[in-house]
Amino acid sequence: MFKRLEMAPPDPILGLAEAFDNDPNPAKINLSIGVYKDAHGKTPILQTVKAAEEFILRHEATKSYLGIDGMPEYAAATRALIFGAGHPIVADRLAVTAHAPGGTGALRVAADLIRNVRGDAAVWVSQPTWPNHPSVFRAAGLRVNSYPYFDPATNSLAFAEMRAALEKIPAGDVVVLHGCCHNPTGIDPTPAQWAAIADVVAARELLPLFDFAYQGFGEGLREDAGGILGLWRPGGEMLIASSFSKNFGLYNERVGALTLVAGTAAAAQAALSHIKICIRANYSNPPAHGAKIITTILGSPELRAEWEEELTGMRGRIWEMRRRFVTGLAAQGVTRDFSFIARQHGMFSFTGLTKDQVRRLRDAYSIYIVDSGRINVAGLTETNLPVLCKAIAEVL
């Protein structure tokens, strides 16, 4: 079975973490994988997470299996976070939620569901997108196509091209949209552009599948859900893959969720029964710990308020690093206009550095960023920022 196998290519993001670990240079800097770091370059456990874990340790009474779709309280908390507690989707029970192992797990469940119920549908991803998107959908047996998203000439959204491409997608196909903090470009549609996207999606009868991994890292918890809410029309359908890796700092707990919005409450329940079939054949039922942490935090008014403060702190630090990145490059004598970095959203900055420049940053300076030129701005600190800016000035 295995004797003729050659080495598979490394993952474009996680593979870099391995290369970084093996780099002996003590001055190495890892700005590849999307992990938040504080001002000291550490990825701390949130205080609210620690408090919730202490509560769980004292009160948890069993480690018995959860249901296939996880804990109902967690599902309800996830929906309230996405839509807002009073939204008609919640009040009319038009959405169902299954707890999944991370945002990637949620995407895979969504992909399996689409394959099972509408196997001929193609999935359309933005160009560029998170490199794992096509892999996840293809692994489920789906066809993957792309629509234009990024205009390198202006470092902005190629909106006219995007809309024209969406208008040609066949009815019933799936469009993957990044709810906020587009990965890798950091460029999100404006409210007016979201409204235009909503019109096309409705007119073409496309199924929106939102990857929602950065809620709270862009403008704020509610603001970041604006694109999703704007796309919903009464009777409309959508899928949302949430991740809590970033906004709760729960990366290795693998905690996410798939939320499905249907036209009626009965249709949502029927769809949930199909989601459960996909989950049972994959990981059977979800791991509990991360979901218990989130349910504990969101269920306590004090912890929730404290968590929102922690989230605001992370968001503020990222914005500050963006501003300093722009001024730091100028201070190194870089004349190219990098002001767009301060306008992008979320963890990542799509710098426009070429593959060759990225390689030189890695080989000559042990600075690791993704081949596409994507830098994890949330990994910048006052210490590594000047080093990065100087190295970029030199490779430019």
Q: What is the DSSP letter of 288?
A: S
Q: Pick between residue 184 and residue 189 the one whose CB is nearest to ligand LMR.
A: 184
CA dist 253 and 385 (Å) reads: 29
**Closest residue by beta carbon to ligand LMR:** 34
Q: Pick between residue 130 and residue 210 the one whose CB is nearest to ligand LMR.
A: 130
Q: Pick between residue 33 and residue 334 the one whose CB is nearest to ligand LMR.
A: 33
Catalytic-labelled residue, pool 211, 224, 276, 292: 211
CA dist 253 and 56 (Å) reads: 15
Q: How far is the CB of 198 from ligand LMR (least distance, A)?
A: 25
Q: What is the DSSP letter of 193?
A: H
246 is catalytic: yes
Q: Pick between residue 10 and residue 88 the one whose CB is nearest to ligand LMR.
A: 10
Catalytic-labelled residue, pool 37, 246, 276, 292: 246
Q: How far is the CB of 34 from ligand LMR (least distance, A)?
A: 3
Question: For residue 120, what are the contacts with CB-CB under 8 A and spacing of at least 6?
Answer: none
Helix (H, G, I), strand (E, B) or coil at 244: coil
CA dist 367 and 170 (Å) reads: 43
Displacement of CA 294 from its chain's centroid (Å): 17
Q: How far is the CB of 132 from ligand LMR (least distance, A)?
A: 6
Q: Pick between residue 52 and residue 123 the one whose CB is nearest to ligand LMR.
A: 123
Q: How far is the CB of 370 from ligand LMR (least distance, A)?
A: 8
Catalytic-labelled residue, pool 112, 124, 130, 224: 130
∠ CA 133-136-138, nearest 5°, is: 105
Q: How far is the CB of 103 from ligand LMR (least distance, A)?
A: 7
Q: Which residues partner with 171 through β-bridges?
A: none
CA dist 273 and 241 (Å) reads: 17
Q: What b-and-e string marks burial along 349-387, b requiring 16 or more CB atoms within 10 Å of the CB? A: bbbbbeeebbebbbeebbbbbbbbbbbbbbbbbeebbeb
Q: How far is the CB of 105 from ligand LMR (least distance, A)?
A: 11
Q: How far does the chain reach from its first CA to its final CA, in angstroms?
A: 47
Strand pairing category for 374-376 and 348-350: antiparallel
Site residues (vs ligand LMR, CB under 6 A): 13, 33-34, 130, 132, 183
The one-letter code for the residue type at 202 is A
124 is catalytic: no
232 is catalytic: no
Within a 10 A sphere around the Cβ of 59, how many other Cβ atoms? 9
Q: What is the DSSP letter of 75?
A: H
Q: Pick between residue 183 and residue 242 the one whose CB is nearest to ligand LMR.
A: 183
Instruction: Tell me the catalytic residues.
Output: 130, 211, 246
